[in-house]
Amino acid sequence: MNKKFSDVAMVDNNKWKKAIHRERELYSRENDMRSDFGRDYTRILHSLAYRRLKHKTQVFFNTRNDHICTRMEHVAHVESISYTIAKELGLNFELTKAIAIGHDLGHAPFGHKGEQIIKKLTKEHLNDSFWHEKNGLRVVDKLDLLQDNKGNFANLNLTYAVRDGIVCHCGEVDENAIIPRSDTIDLNQIENPGEVQPFTWEGCIVKISDKIAYLGRDIEDALLLNIIKQKDLRDLYALGKIHGQQTVNTSVIIHELMNDLVENSSIDKGICFSEDKLNFINQIKKFNYDKIYNSKKLDYYKGYAELIINSIFEELIKYYDGENTIINLDKNLNESQGILIKEFKNWIIKYCDEDILQDCSLEGSYNNEKIYGKLDTKYIYTEAVIDFISGMTDSYAIKCFEGLITF
């Protein structure tokens, strides 16, 4: 087996230049010890979108159980797995860490159910698609803002390779061998998740690490929440014994799959598992879908999430009034219930042209792209509403909803 992926991964100077390319030059500091990808990692680490992951559902909504996996914990698993694999294969583990920490920034509140709800709203009102990988690219390119060394807020401005890894990371696509594509493309033209492979080997590793990370942890969380019982695991334990293990849990699955991936991957074959371990993965996935993801016990939670997201959308969408929308939001601050209108207004003005803000003032200097312009159309305003909702945490969405129903 050829482990020296670095022989072809980034030695091509032209590919390297494309990988570290940024849309705008990033400010520099003297004696900065970080690489381009190291800077991306810390820029994401310091972002508000990353901080919110600790209160976003991974699979199971549970705001009172400290031991249920959140989106932030899942990201940490993916970062750890991809770092280990990249280091073993001689690849750029700083790049895998940067992609991994940012790969789920586009997730909506309430996990995959929240994504389905927003996807439906996006299709109905914008005739467009919504999927979290695409939204993750929008977050890092347009929505999340970071203060620079002069105190100005601006877009994250990440390297191409990290942005590419975020939008191309879909771990739900069933394939074994993954080989990176040969050239750059306009990432905003990707229409569906899993449509193209990542540009780098490191992006391919994060994509497959995403799958490795969630399989076992979802089983453990389902046990904690009594969605499944120990007796439901008999078939899985038997499966584990076939592979020389006494049980099947997160650490066992990660250990088995990481080692197998390293042993079987090569420049010629791509990042891949053996047929034996691919079958192991498929059997675990089948168990998870049969016993967990399609459990009737989750139906009430799904209905609750739908009520919250749709109610917030309906409340915000009614305030559109062309260039006077900001004024209209201001007029309704005292009449509306709770914090929703005030905080939406304070958020949206950061992305609008200054000449429609009138008496509104921003705390700080904002040099980011004004993606909503003058709110010329309801379409643009609807984009803003969906952007705002998709960035919410579970707990914040609940807080906004409760404000709407409290008299």
- pLDDT, mean of residues 165-169: 96
- The answer on pLDDT for 106 being more than 90 is yes
Angle among Cα 79, 45, 162 to the nearest 5 degrees reads: 60
3-class SS of residue 280 = helix
Residue 40's pLDDT band (boundaries 50, 70, 90)? very high
Measured distance CA(103)–CA(214) in Å, rounded: 14
Query: Is the per-residue pLDDT at 372 higher than 50?
Result: yes
Which tens digit of pLDDT belongs to each residue from 321-330?
988 899 899 8
Whole-angstrom distance, CA of residue 178 vs CA of residue 193:
15
Distance from C-alpha of 136 to C-alpha of 49, rounded to nearest angstrom: 10
- Give the model confidence (pLDDT) of 235-257 as tens digits: 777 776 766 666 677 888 898 89
Determine the average pLDDT of the residues in 129-134. 96
Residues 6+ apart with CB under 8 A from 99: 82, 161, 162, 165, 166, 169, 202, 203, 206
Whether residue 361 is predicted with pLDDT greater than 80 in this model: the reply is no
Amino acid present at 346:
N
- At which residue do the structure tokens 């803002």 appear? 145
Domain boundaries, the chain: 6-105+144-294, 297-405
6-105+144-294 topology per CATH = Hypothetical protein af1432 (1.10.3210)
Of residues 85 and 297, more confidently modeled: 85
Residue 201, pLDDT above cutoff 70: yes
